[in-house]
Amino acid sequence: MHEAKTTLSQLVERAEHGEDIVITRNGTPVVRLTPIAKPNSLVDVYGALPGRYIDDSFDDLPDDIAEALGME
């Protein structure tokens, strides 16, 4: 844990490059550093496709599922 405190920026950089970083306390693993995935393209970004919307029928719940959930 002490080493992680003093070298956190280096550990984060290593994790960003794909290395699996596990931090231990007294020899016991307690946390893993993993990078957050970045969007690959504008298609992955919410709202990046103006003018394209999900069809309104997508909101309709099929009767059998609504009944099973007690919604009908």
Band (67; pLDDT cuts 50, 70, 90): confident
Q: Give the confidence band of 62 by pLDDT, cuts at 50, 70, 90.
A: confident
pLDDT for position 53: 64
Single-letter residue type at 58: F
Distance CA 41, CA 22 (A): 30
Tens digit of pLDDT for each residue in 4-60?
889 999 999 999 998 999 999 999 999 999 988 776 666 666 655 666 666 666 777
CA dist 23 and 14 (Å) reads 13
Stretch 58-63: mean pLDDT: 79
Three-state SS at 29 = strand
Domain boundary assignment for the chain: 2-68
